Amino acid sequence: MIELPPAPSWDGLHPLIVHFPVALLLVAPVLVLLALVVRGHRRGLLLAALALMVLGTAASWVAVSTGEAAGKLADRSPEVNAVLEHHEELAETTRLVFTVLTAVFAALVLAPVVLKREPGEVATIGVAVLFLAVYGAGTLVLANTAHNGGRLVHELGVRALMPPAPLPAAEAEKD
């Protein structure tokens, strides 16, 4: 029988939510690149990229907040402290960088609509390439944040506190 999993607490949400900024913010620039190539669908692709950036950035805010709550409950050791502190600093930088990048991208995508004036092809490509270069630097911060989070879990064994749930019937029978 399909059952709903138990609702996680705020700190327990961290392992779930962290994947959203990673996936959404890394896919968004691919759509920007596609928009430069597929001219016929440029507006739609740029809007889709913007939607991903907005969702990814929003998820990064939730990830930082749930991460702080989870960090307070994490098993500590000097190694964990060092990686956790670095992870936390990088996460805050990621949140700031992508908040600024998303705001800039929103302005770039929506300005022609508001001003009712399309920029020329050269200007569009030039601005997009410049934006993607800066965005690429941001993705390095994001990747480092994710890497340090991965180290905490897979190398140092830091676990989030999950809500207690009954064992599946097959497992319970084994016990």
Partner 1 sequence: MKTTSFVRSLPAFALAGAAALVLALPAPAAAPPAASTLDNLQAAYDGESNASAKYAAFAKKADEEGYGQVASLFRAAARAEQIHAANHAAVIKKLGGVPKNDVKAPEVKTTKENLQAAIAGESYERDKMYPEFLAKAKKDTNRDAIETFNFAKAAEAEHAKLYSESLAKLDSLKGTKAVTYYVCTVCGFTTTKLDFQKCPVCFNPKDKYTKVG
Tokens linked to 61: 């805010």
- Tell which one of 33, 54, 73, 143 touches partner 1 (CB under 8 A): 73
Of residues 44, 40, 19, the one with CA closest to residue 31: 44
Buried b (16+ CB within 10 A) or exposed e, 154-166: eebebebeeeeee
> What SS3 class is residue 7?
coil
Considering beta carbons, is residue 10 or 107 the nearer one to partner 1? 10
Considering beta carbons, is residue 165 or 169 the nearer one to partner 1? 165
Cα angle 90, 93, 98 (rounded to 5 degrees) comes to: 125
What's the full length of the chain, in residues? Answer: 175
Indicate whether 3 belongs to the interface with partner 1 (CB under 8 A). Answer: no
> What SS3 class is residue 94?
helix
Considering beta carbons, is residue 9 or 144 the nearer one to partner 1? 9
Indicate whether 156 belongs to the interface with partner 1 (CB under 8 A). Answer: no
Residues 86-115 interacting with partner 1 (rule: CB under 8 A): 88
- Tell which one of 5, 40, 120, 164 touches partner 1 (CB under 8 A): 164
Indicate whether 71 belongs to the interface with partner 1 (CB under 8 A). Answer: yes
Rounded Cα gap, residues 145 and 141, in angstroms = 6
Tokens linked to 55: 């969702």
Site string for partner 1, 6-35 (x = CB under 8 A): ---x-x------------------------
Which residues are near partner 1 by CB under 8 A? Answer: 9, 11, 68, 71-76, 78, 81, 84-85, 88, 161, 163-164
